[in-house]
Structure 1
Amino acid sequence: MNHAALLVADTSQGALASLRGEALLTHAVRGLICSGCVDLTIVLDSDRRLAESESAVRVVPGAAGRYRVFRGCADRSESLRRAVHVVGRTPSEVLVIHDATRARTPASLVEAVVTAVQGGAPAAVPVLPMTDTVKLVDPGARITGTRDRARLRTLQTPMAFHADLRPELAEHGPERLLDRLGAQVRLVEGHPDAAKLASEFELALAEAALAEATGGSR
């Protein structure tokens, strides 16, 4: 096994926000390491946040010697392309792309997408059924129809790609590459805990859920 994870710490979306006294980035890296599926985690962040990101990762048990923190770009897509080039210098079989704001993602979900790629799929992503009604509108914001939500899914991370797809990942980015791969992508069942924590309200809900799960202890 030799797998690498790419983690873009977009601090504008709160990767260093606190959850139960730790940065979301810390929680996210812990989940990757606890999965037992990731040998190297590459974190990209802005210059002014590199030291904070380094500290957030360094405190994770088992992280020593298994992570690198590099300068990313203001644009998320460009940061991912840079991360793919960085990891290209490290032999790997599977590339995992994860979002630090999905800090409560279970380690089992990381294992599920990696296992799917190891089993022969070029890529694997977790998805959840769409539960909201989705309306189609025209340029004038007038409703023109209703989309059948039975065929809609919301996409989560981590996404996993076979390492042979590095050039395509660098060129197209993960979301567009998934579209190009189409039916070849293996869909695995997502998890409610893998939701993004990108607002104060979402963080408060996560805090409450963790407090309940631990009986209020920290």
Structure 2
Amino acid sequence: MVPGVTVAKWTRAWQERRRNSPLIVTPISEAEQIEVLHDGRADLSFVRLPIEREGLSVIRLYGEVAVVVVAKEHPVSLFESVTEAELESEVVRTEDPADAVEVVAAGVGVLRVPHSVARLHARKDVVAVPVSDAAETEIAVVWLAENTTPDIEEFVGIVRGRRPGSSRGPAREEVPTASDTKPVQKKPAQKQGGGAPKGGGKAKAKPAAKHPPKSKARGRKKTGR
């Protein structure tokens, strides 16, 4: 996963369902976010778009607001948001964010990063201010299309919010089980509906109830008189 991406809730969900298949989660830089798939270091990669998509399966997950990180004493730190035009005169740092924040905190330049990255490197002497007219960056989960496996499909299902039992494999297994229970559900429904005028069960029951207990019927007449 690239910096700023948090996958804990998804990995926890996986471990709850697949206790015998532990995951290894490795932080990587954006420069190697696709390389780790091609060299076999990872089966899945959480990346920051855009990327070259050829040969990849890509599922976009969410967007990130762009922010500018400035020293706490910088005039921009007092704004609720800024525009691209208001940053034109600023020196934008291009170092690794961890190093750039150190320089920015000293009052030299500003740093443009997604909000999650700014949050990752948050400290008391810098402030992150949203850039209101900047395009969002996007986070996606990707893998080599030719290497798609049931495990990958299941994990991607977790990431997309699929509940246990609603994944493709279990869903196919549950369909016949559900259909097998339908006759069992219909029988009590017919009994409960027997009192309705259209109930076939009661129409058959009337002759059976009248013929055997003739003596009881006579008894009721005598009692009534």
Q: TM-score, normalised by structure 2?
A: 0.24
More strand by share: 1
